[in-house]
Structures are given as structure tokens and as C-alpha cells.
Chain A
Amino acid sequence: MQQQQGNRFFFNVDWITVLIYIALCAIGFVNIYASVPPEQTTVFGFSTLYGKQLIYIITGLILGLSILLFDGRLFNVFSPFIYGGTLLLLMAVLVIGNKVAGNQAWIAIGSFKLQPAEFAKFGTALLLARYVGAFNPKFRDVKSIMIAGLIVAAPLLLIMLQPDTGSALVFLAFMFPLYREGLSGYFLLIFLGMIVLFIADFLVPTYILIIIITTIAGLFIYNNRRKQKIIFSTVLVTVFAIGYLFLIKIAYEKVLAPHQRSRIELMLGLKTDNKGAGYNVIQSQIAIGSGQGTGRGFLQGTQTKYGYVPEQSTDFIFSTIGEEWGFMGCSVVIGLYMFLLLRLVNLAERQRSTFSRVYGYSVACILFFHVFINIGMTIGIIPVIGIPLPLISYGGSSLWSFTILLFIFLKLDSNRMGFI
């Protein structure tokens, strides 16, 4: 029996995903090694960034493999406690956390720093999956939407208080699993519309936007003039949209910090500032662009070697890849991520239990948000939002949280034949 279980354990784990995981970690290590200034690479020590990252990778692998040894059902059962635990940590960090670069995001345990926001992701994913798995709501009613929304919103708001907008934004990724479980596509459309209006509000005067919106609404109402319900909802949407426009203006001035405002303006091309707030993005694009087709080669990137891109081993690690490995290297990395993401969705779809499926979707979408925002930021199509590139960026908390996130799903997947 024991023997048989062992066999099942090894046969059912999706080793392809594990291989991609290892490949991405290895790419991360290589590029962190390249990002460290030359004088610090003389001795291979564990005090260096890449030395530490190697420890994180090894411990991460041990962590991941040990997760595979758990009983998958435990995650379902304990999900409320895990969720509650991460919420407590998020509250604790606001009180006892260390302030780094304006964000109170870290809890120091000895020399090791823990970032609760990273762990809140799988806590939230687990509880959301449990809720959907247990009640199987189709999100046609307000109540189920509210409950799901609350599960996501609680950690999101706590992280906003740190304030760590980047990590908080990632929680919007949970829209996609909910969409898969029946949430109306209108929510995605409204979300998309809000982003479009937000950008448009900066580029076009507000009154012109109002004219455009009301004109479209008017035409729409005229076409459907016999259907009262549609007229009513169109008017409602229009009023909300116009109100939203003014809300953006107010929120932009009152809520966003100056550095966030300038990041948005830089991204939209409303201002240029090559030495101040824009320095990071400009230098990152210069480094990536200078890699050209095949890159300058390992350890040959001048921008990387001479430290022109700040935060290069963490949030801007993609600039090292871009410079030293060129378009080819970038394509390989993006290709690997895509392969991983599409595979995760496929794996999620083959789950028997709704819990596993929702969780799988959550993992895929969180990874997707990270990859999209991070790479988009380094090449200047998204404002600077400080979140790491999964598995590649330097950092223990981030690497471990993605490891846990991923390996819990792999464990659930290996158990897919059984009941949970």
C-alpha cells in the first residue's frame, strides 16, 4: 500500500510544471549573478545576493517537495485558518513592520525579512477556492458576489494601508477565477472600461469625454428605444461613468502619492524626467533595447555591469535578461511563462473538484498579473509598480510564496482522482 502510494505520488505530479519552475529559478539565479556589481562577485559567498538566492532556491525546492508530501485535503480544511493567519500577519506588519522605502511591508525575523503580502496571495486563493467549492455559487446574486469580493478585499485593503499598491493590485487577478465560475463578463468589461477611462481622462479633456460618452449612450438608447430595461441600465452606466471621471480627478490628487502620480504621467508620456522619477524606466529600457537581437552575452551587459539600472536584481531583473540575452532571451522567458500559464489553466480544467479548479485558476492569474505588470513596467508600457517577476526576481519571500502557491496546486492536481 505504502509502495503503491509512493508510485502514485511520483506519477501524478505534473513534472513538466516542476521543470519549468526549476528553469525559471535557474534563469533568475544566472541573471541575479550578472546583476551584482563585478567587485562583489570575487568570492562565491552566501553573503552575496546570488549566494542568498541560491539558498532561497534550494530551500524553496525543499519547501515545494515537502508540500507534495502533505495530504491535499488539508489545504481545503485549513484554508480558513491559513487565510486568517495571513490577515493577522498583514495587521501585525502595520504595527511591528519595518519601513523600507516608505512601505511598511516587512517583518524582520533575525536577519530574514518576511513579506506577509506575498503569503496573503495563497491564503486568499485557498479560501476563495473553498468558498466556491463548498457553495458552488454561480455569482448571479449579489450575496455571493459580495462574499467573494469580501474575501479578496480584506487582504487587499490591508496591503493598501502599508501602502503597497503594487501588491494590492495583484489581488484584482482573482476576477478571472470568479469569471470562470460564472461571474458575468460585464464585470470584466466594466473593469476594462474603467482602465480605459482612467487613461483617457489624462489624455483628453474631461468635457470631451463626457460628450463622447453621452453621445454613445444616446445612440444606444435610440437603437433600443422599445426596451425599457436596457434604457434604464444604459442611463445608470452613463451616470456612473461620468461620476467616475470626476472621481478619478479627485482621487488622483488626494489619494495617490506624488511619486505614483509622476509614474503614471511618465508612462502616459505626459512628462519626461530622465534623471528623476523617470530614470529607472528610461535606464531599464536602454538596457533592454541595447541587448538587440541576441544580447551582449552573459556578464557582458555594460548597463547591468556598471549599475545603471537601479533595483536591477529585484523588480528590474528583466532588464538584465533583455540586455545580456537580447530579444531571443526575452522571448524564451516570456515563452516559458506562457507555457506555464497555459498549462496551469489546462491543469485546472482537468480537476474534478471545483476547489482545485478555482485554486488553479487563481495561481495562473496571479502569476499572469505579476509577469504582465513586471515586464510591462520594465519596457515602459505600464507605470512603475513595484512587484517582482515570479521565480526570477531576487527575494526569499517572493520566491517562497510562489513556490507554495504553485506546489499546493501541483499537490491538489496529483490528488485530482481522489475526492476532496
Chain B
Amino acid sequence: MDQLFNRKYIVQGLFIVIALILLGKLFYIQIISDAAFVSAESNVLRKIYKYPARGAILDRNMKVIVQNEPVYDLMVTPNEVKPFDTLALAQALDITFEDVRKNLKKARGKSSYQATPFLKQISVQSYARLQETLYRFPGFRTQDRTIRHYPDSVGGQLFGYVKEVSPVDIEKSEGFYKPGDYKGKSGLEFSYEETLRGEKGVINTVYDAHNTPQGSYADGKYDVNAVSGERLISGIDMRIQKLGEELMMNKVGAIVAIEPASGEILSLISSPGYDPNLLVGRNQGNNYMEFIVGNPYRPSLVRPIMGYYPPGSSFKPVDALIGLQEGVIDPNTTFFCPHYYQAGNRKIKCEHFDGSISLRRGIARSCNTYFCYVFQKLITKNGMKNQRQTYQEWRDKVAKFGFGSKLDIDMPYERKGYFYTADHYDKIYGKRWGYTNVISQAIGQGEITATPLQMANAMAIIANRGYYLKPHLIKGIGDKNLVKKEYVVKNYVGVDARHFEPVIDGMQDAVNTSWGTAILSRIPDVVLCGKTGTVQNPHGKNHSVFIGFAPRDNPKIAIAVIVENAGYGSTYAAPIASYMIEKYLKGSVSGARAAQVEWMKNQNLLPVLKDKTKAVKLTKADSLLLKKADSTKRVKDSLRIKSATIKQTVTTKPKEFKSVIIDKPVIQK
């Protein structure tokens, strides 16, 4: 009996062991792990998001240029759906019977008890139609949100577009964006995403096991109201933005206009453009493929900030300014122009016959010889042995004008252009190189490329007589009209104001004298100063270029216009610029010029596609190739210099030259 009595302890011990096992597991799931707590919250809590309206964008005249439009997402909670008239729903939504079944299946795959999008971005019209019959489709409800609307249907590249976030966006934002959120993907929508997007609101609702709402969670303590995005005021003048896009219709190129005193961009046009409204709404994906990717003229290349063009003649005033500042020339310096400039074995042609030519006339007639001499004097001012050093100094001075680096415009994907340092030429030529090797830069050709934005900015510098403010699109953020600090700083370029007047004289003559290059682009009662450029390129017709500012005193607008493969600068680029300026300064283009505007709009200058694909795509790879070919050729040439006669070289070379500037007097129409 005693022995069996001990079995009591075995039984009691078993009880205790089991109790400890139970407590151990309880301790784990209640104290150690919080997985259950998280699951419990997600069981009962449903977050219903309230999407804020994105901030509007106004132009400089306070006209709304980007606004919002209400749309509706049709949401479905699959396990609340009862058999319904599929055909009726399809008709109400204007989709096919198959789509209804497909979307429903997709929603079921995501979650059966949570509302998921069935059809996104239903228009107001469809919504009105649907609203009447929605009661017949249990399980469906609408969620309102807003999409973008661009009233003027222009400025596709400028404004960019807004799109639902991708998984990559969500990951990058470290959880800020949730699936279903929208985000600016390019243009202003991208750069000012944080200002425009606003704050999402959330309503926490408690649901029971049958998915019936049971009121707000914690008395709404954690609910947040949606806060609309802040509005932006841009420097854009929609009147000239629109005119510019119309003028550039059926042309490839870019226009940038800047208000010199403030650095505000008045218009930024990339052609071919597109209607930004195409990239809104349900057809966004299809339209993107059709109109953006599908267009062989590549609208996705934002030419004003991404396109690389040799600055050509727009570079000559810069040359002159540095020459004046360095004292190698004065306003009265003349050079003899024998219709060409001889640099070692190379001949750079001039298209005018003047003989001895002064600075003022040199600029007005765009004399290549004059500026090659200026360049030569600049580089050799410390003797022939120090050319490398002086080149680097010259390069740094030019760089202050904004060439060869980004101007930090408030738009994504800006590129900086090519403008090489002395180190670069060391690599190509070794230590033995001089001004003759890099002479083409004197006339803005050869290895220097610039974006239209940089060219317009150079004009703003001249208009301001010596400084610029970083060009920017947005001049006021939110109700307080904040502006970024970097956009109110004057950047001086190191050239004294007094040196500008002689240069500006020349630019005034270019437009306003009978011997100028752009006299047809004269604007009545406005002194327009400018320069034409005709940039030859190896792949097709010349690019037509015009840069300028107006009026001469107290300038209001600086502009750069590039029309690719359009021929002479005076025929297309200069008139386009003058219409833009007249419209901006006077409000309209008047008189006979109004008819010319219509004529210009109707010009089709689209390059032939076969050539086009190569010519327009002056991509980095392309220009690198060109540059390489050009450089190696010159190395070879300089080695051959002793054995070959100049004549032979000249006869074999011209066609192989990458590009040559040919400025011509105006041809009468």
C-alpha cells in the first residue's frame, strides 16, 4: 500500500508538468511573440484611405495650368458580391462582359473580404450612369479620387505625368507609398512631388468577423483628414508656351525663354510635344506606348534640358566678352578676314566678305575669323608654351556662364553638355597641343555641346550684363509663395558690366541693321538683340538656331530657339523667337506678322525618318563617337602636316568636318 501511495506523486507531478507546458506556450504567444497582436489588429482594423487632391499649378499670370478632375474607382469586396446582372454592369461601365469576369476574378485573387479596385478611374459621365444602378450590384462601391487635368493641352514634357506607384517606388520610399498611391513620374509633377502630393487621410474602422463595420477605431483617435497638396506658381507664361508649341508643330527642336532679372523660365518647349492629358486616366499605358514610345521623333527626350547641340554662334558673344575682360581685344580691335581663318593646316571658312572687320560688325555678321583670332589671342597670351594652362583658365571662365555643367533647373533628367578640360586633351594629344587643336571651340563648334537651356541662360547673362539667376520653373510654393533659396542668388560670371555694351551693340545690329543676319525678325518698337546660327550637322540638314533677348534696355525676355534640320537660322528659328517675344511683350503679334505666325505654324520641317533616327538622336554615345572620329582625324592630320600640302588636306577635309557654322545674310522670301 505504501508503495502504491507514492504513485500519488507521479500523478500530481504529471499535472504540474502539463500545467507548466500550457503556461510555457501561453508565455510564448502572449509575452514573447507579438505576431498574434499584429494579426489581431489586422483582423478587426480596416484602413480606408482618403486620397488628397494634388496641388494645382498656376502660370505667372495666375492662370490655372494644371488642375484636378474628379474620377471614381469602382471597388469590389468579393465575398459581399451576390449574383448580379453582369451585362448591365458591363454596359454601365462601358466595358465588355469578359472584362467584368476577368476583373472580378482578379479582385478575388487579391482578397475576398477587403475592397479592391475593380475598375479604376471611371469618368464623371460613367459614374453618373453607374450611380443610378449601383444598388443592383451589392459588394460594389465607389471611391472618389482626383486625376490631373491640363486645360491648355500643352506642355507634356514640362508638366510630366502622374502614375500609380510601382513596387520599386514603394520599396524606395521605405513604405511611404502604398499600392494604389499615385506619384509624379517626370517633369514638374516629379520635381515637386513632395509639395504637390499632399497628405493622405485615413479612417480606421473596426470590422467584425462577418466583415460588417462596427464603427470607428478608438473613437477616431488615429483618423487623419486628407490634406490637399500645395499649389505652385510657375514662371511659365501659358500664352507664349502655347504659341511656341503651335509654332513648333511638325518641327523637331526646343525653345527656352527666361526672364533675365529673375531666372524664371517663361516657356520651355520640347518638340514634338504631346498633350499631357493623354497620360491621364485609364488609357495612360496605351497612350504612352502609342504617342511617346511610338513616336520616332522621340518626345521622351526633353530637348530643352537633355538635347545636345553645338552652341554655334551663341558662343561668339561669350568669346568676345572674355576677350574684352582679359584685355586681348578692345571694342575697336579689328582683324582682317580673308574669308577664312587658317589654323595650322585647318581652314575655317567665313561666309561673308568684309575684309577688315571690327568687333561690332564681327558679331553682327558672325565672323568666324574674328573669333578664331580672339581665341588664338586668349590661349597664347602667356606665350606658346603655356597654352595648356591658359586653355584651362579660359575653360573655367566660360564654365561660369553655365556651359559644361547642370544649371540645376527644377526638372528631372537635366544634362550638362560636353565642355572639356585640359586634362581631356592631354589624353588625346599627349602634352603637345595648342589652340589650333581646339580652335573649333572658338565658334561654339567641335567638341562643345550645350542644351538649349544653357544657351538661353547665356543670353540672360548678357541681358543682365554679367550675372544670372539659376533658371527655374516654379517661383512660388504654397500659400506663402516660397521660393528655393538657390534661385534668388545672383551668379556673377566674372565679366565687368562695361564690356557687355560693345557685344550687345553687335547683337542689336544682327537683327536691326541691313547687314545683320536676322533683319526679317525685327519687332516693331522693340529692340531685339540676337544672333542667328546655322549649325551644320553630318547627318542631315542644318539646325536652325536663334538666341536673343529683348528689349535692349531693361530686358524682359531671353530666348533660345532650335529647329532641327530646318536650314538657316534666319528662316525659322529667328522668326519663331521674334513671335514669341512680341507675344510676350505686347500680348499679341500684330500686323502682317500675324499672318506669318500662321504660315510658320503650318510649316512641316520634320526630317525624313530614315535620316531622322540618326540625326535627332544626338545621344551621348553618338556624340562620343563623333568626337572620337573628329579628334583622331585631327591627330592624324597633324602628323601628316609635313608630308601633305595644305591644298590636299583642304580638298579631302571639308566633308569630313563634323560641323561648320555658316552664317548668311538673310535671303528674301
Contacts and interface: CB of A to CB of B under 8 A. Distances in A.
A342 B15 contact: yes
Interface in B5-29: 5, 7-8, 10-12, 15-16, 18-19, 21-23, 25-27, 29
Interface string A357-390: 0000100110010001001100111000000000
A291 interface: yes
A300 B18 CA distance: 30
Contacts of A349: 5, 8
A176 B40 contact: no
A372 B22 contact: yes
Interface string A325-351: 011001100100110011001000100
A286 B40 contact: yes
A330 B26 contact: yes
Given A308-B209, A330-B30, A303 B11 contact: no
Interface string A279-307: 00001011111111100000000110111
B206 A302 contact: yes
Contacts of A286: 36, 39-40, 43
B19 A345 contact: no
Contact of A338 (B16, B25, B208): B16
Nearest to A379: B25
Interface stretch (A24-32, A56-64, A177-185, A408-416): A177-185
Contacts of A365: 11
A287 B7 CA distance: 38
A307 B587 CA distance: 70
B643 interface: no
B11 A180 contact: yes
Nearest to A293: B31
Nearest to B21: A381
A322 interface: yes
A323 B40 CA distance: 10
A212 B208 CA distance: 50
Given A289-B40, A306-B214, A331-B23, A379 B29 contact: yes
B592 interface: no
B388 to A, nearest CB: 73
Contacts of A372: 18, 22
B26 A322 contact: yes
A291 B30 contact: yes
Interface residues of B, number: 36
Nearest to B113: A275
B208 A290 contact: no
Contacts of B35: 289
A288 B30 contact: yes
Interface in A176-213: 176, 179-182, 185
Contacts of A303: 40, 43-44
B209 A288 contact: no
A289 B7 contact: no
A308 B43 contact: yes
Interface residues of A, number: 46
Nearest to A376: B22
B567 to A, nearest CB: 71
B515 interface: no
Contacts of A345: 8, 11-12, 15
A372 B14 CA distance: 11
Contacts of B214: 306
Interface string A235-255: 000000000000000000000
B4 interface: yes
Given A326-B30, A379-B22, A290 B36 contact: yes
Contacts of A334: 19, 22-23, 26
B33 interface: yes
B8 A290 contact: no
A305 B212 CA distance: 13
A378 B43 CA distance: 18
B657 interface: no
A129 to B, nearest CB: 16
A310 to B, nearest CB: 8
B210 interface: yes
B7 A179 contact: yes
27 contacts: A180-B4, A182-B4, A283-B43, A285-B36, A286-B39, A287-B40, A288-B26, A288-B29, A289-B33, A289-B37, A292-B34, A292-B37, A302-B206, A303-B43, A305-B208, A306-B43, A306-B207, A307-B208, A307-B209, A308-B44, A323-B40, A327-B27, A327-B31, A334-B19, A349-B8, A364-B11, A372-B22
4 tightest A-B CB contacts, nearest first:
A289-B36, A290-B40, A306-B208, A289-B29
Interface of B: 4-5, 7-8, 10-12, 15-16, 18-19, 21-23, 25-27, 29-31, 33-37, 39-41, 43-44, 206-210, 214
